[in-house]
Every structure is written in structure tokens, then in C-alpha cells.
Chain A
């Protein structure tokens, strides 16, 4: 499965929820599908997208938070799985696109190419619901399941090691940051 096809499958869900992505390929792919003020592209600090998502989910229990993580990024902060499992906010969906590669830097294989299994690691860390998907249909079904019944979920999706033609977002980092903050402020004042 191509990650961009997986994103297309769930774009209507992403539009409705708070979304945090890692840097590089997935940020550019989501941006190209259509930017929204509820999307935050964390264009650095590798590994911390899930920690940022945890902070959001704990602070905004009435909102669904979706994190779009990558295998290389998650491998840089494996402890996050234990922290997610420990506090398990039911409104957090942690999606890991595992392409067994550091695609955004030109593609070096990661440890998942030689057998490391991130879904098993999430299970062993105690994440309450761990799902896996290899096709767009499985992916859509897993996301639907995770959003239908509250429960902190890590969804590991196997995708091909390919990225977008361009990594450029026509959006300054700080513009994204202030727009995202303003969006969340307006959510709070309207609720």
C-alpha cells in the first residue's frame, strides 16, 4: 500500500479531528491532499509527535487526536509507547506508517526491515489496542474501529518506501503553528 492512498482513505476522518504529523514525506503528502487549520506538521524534533499528541489528548478529553508517526521516528523514542500505554487517553489514535525506511532523508532501511516488529513492541508496552493493516481496505477498517469505540490505539500500517515528488509546503512553520493554536483556542471557547 502507498501511504498517500492510505491517507486518502481516511482523509474525511482527518478533516474532522486534531491531526499531528511527523516531518518530511507524510507532512507533504497530507498537505497536498488539502490543508486544514486542525493539522499540525511537526517539522523536526524526531520521535516526539506521539508525545505532543499525548499532551493534546490528555488536555482535550472531548476531542479526538490522531498522530501520524513513522517507523524511524518511533524508533527514536520507543519509551513513548510505555508512556502512551500508561496514561492511555481513549481519544488518542497513534498511526505508525512503517515503510522500513528513512524515506525522507533518501531512504536507509530501519530496523523494521530486519525483523523489529513495532506492533509487538506496542503490545508489549501495554498499549490497550494495537491494530495492523497492509491494504487500504484494512487500514480504513482499522481506523473506523479505533474511532468508533474509545480506546487508546496504536495502528501499525505497512506501506511502501516511497514519498512525494516535492517536500515543500506552501505554509511557513510559524504560520502553521499560530493557525493550529488559534483553531484549538476557538474549539475551547465554543465548547
Chain B
């Protein structure tokens, strides 16, 4: 049951189409192939953080400086970053594009992921952060561009959730 390299490549190509120049991230299993592609790209800068809260500060700095950026984390990292999302991004009307791996949802086999999985969408809704769950059949470039456009016009964080079907190759049941 490996991480989908095909899924990682499709997401990477969508980031290129969005002209993303800075990617901050805290790696986790599902995200590693994507982050390797980012790391190898001379036109993108990968900033690996020690904790996801840092990414929201970096996002604000990149936005002020006019550099298109995206911030990659798993949903438990999003939960760790709530205060700065509220008291920096939302307080100061700063667009932040979040790319969140959606652990603990449909098909999850790791029990420790499930509580975060149950809470991810309710917390996003409580924060009024618009979000979209990517599906395998989606046009990923179109969805990422739409998320980026909405963040910049609403001056608000927007999240794209990377579901299991996009990032994980399950064996046939």
C-alpha cells in the first residue's frame, strides 16, 4: 500500500500551474513524494518547518512580499495551527493556501488518525475556512487554481484536502 507517485506528480503539476514559488511544509508519509518533487525544482523553494504554526507566519511574509506560496501539512498539523490561522491570517485578512493531507477519513486503517479525521471538516467549518476535498477524477490544476483565486479575492485562508483516493494506492479489497 504505497503512497501514490502518480497522485504526487499530478499535485506537483497543479502547483506549477499556479506559479507557486514557496512551499512550506511539515512532511508526513503521504506527502513525501510530493515534497521530493518540490525540493528538486529550482523554481520552488521548500521551507521545512519544525511545527505547522510557523507555516502561517511564513505564509503571511510571502504574501506581503508578493510571492505565491502554499503550505503543506497533515490535518493534525492544521489543528496545531489554529491560533495563527485565527489571530494572524483571519485577523489581518491574509490569504493562506493550505494543502492538507486528510488522514483518518474514508478507508483509514490507522486507529490513531481517526479522531483528527473526524474533526477536520467540522473545525474547518467552525473557522469558516472554505475547503474542497480533492477526488481522483478531479482536474487538480483547475481546483488548485480556484482555491488560490478565492483565497486572494476573499483575503482569507482556503484549504484543499488531499484524500486517500488521490494520494494512496490501496490494494483491491
The reply to whether B57 and A48 contact each other, CB–CB distance below 8 Å, is yes
For B61, give its contact among A45, A54, A77, A173 (CB under 8 Å).
A54
| CB proximity of A49 to chain B, nearest CB, Å | 7
8 Å CB contacts to A: which residues of B86-104? Answer: 87-88, 91-94
Complexed CA–CA distance, A79 and B57 (Å): 13
Of the 9-residue stretches B9-17, B29-37, B42-50, which lies at the interface with chain A? Answer: B42-50
The reply to whether A55 and B57 contact each other, CB–CB distance below 8 Å, is yes
With an 8 A cutoff between CB atoms, is B56 at the interface? yes
Interface of A is mostly: helix
Task: Number of A interface residues at 8 Å Cβ cutoff, please give it.
Answer: 34
The reply to whether B57 and A52 contact each other, CB–CB distance below 8 Å, is yes
The reply to whether A82 and B45 contact each other, CB–CB distance below 8 Å, is no
Q: What residues on B are CB-neighbors of A108 within 8 Å?
A: none
Complexed CA–CA distance, A158 and B69 (Å): 36
A-B contacts, CB under 8 A, total: 107
Map CB proximity to B onto A124-154 as digits: 1 under 8 Å, 0 otherwise. 0000000000000000000000000000000
Q: Look across to chain A and name the residue whose beta carbon is closest to the beta carbon of B49.
A: A83
Complexed CA–CA distance, A188 and B57 (Å): 21
For B51, give its contact among A50, A57, A58, A77 (CB under 8 Å).
A77
Map CB proximity to B onto A173-185 as digits: 1 under 8 Å, 0 otherwise. 1100100110011
With an 8 A cutoff between CB atoms, is B58 at the interface? yes
Complexed CA–CA distance, A59 and B45 (Å): 10
Q: What residues on A are CB-neighbors of B22 within 8 Å?
A: 55, 58-59
| CB proximity of A39 to chain B, nearest CB, Å | 12
- Contact of A59 with B65 at beta-carbon distance under 8 Å, contacts A48-B88, A77-B54 already known: yes
Complexed CA–CA distance, A57 and B65 (Å): 9
With an 8 A cutoff between CB atoms, is A17 at the interface? no
With an 8 A cutoff between CB atoms, is A87 at the interface? yes
The reply to whether A48 and B56 contact each other, CB–CB distance below 8 Å, is yes
Q: What residues on B are CB-neighbors of A56 within 8 Å?
A: 61-62, 64-65
- Contact of A45 with B66 at beta-carbon distance under 8 Å, contacts A87-B47, A173-B92 already known: no
For A51, give its contact among B61, B65, B87, B92 (CB under 8 Å).
B61
8 Å CB contacts to B: which residues of A15-47? Answer: 40, 42-45, 47
Closest CB pairs A-B (n = 3): A55-B61, A51-B57, A79-B50
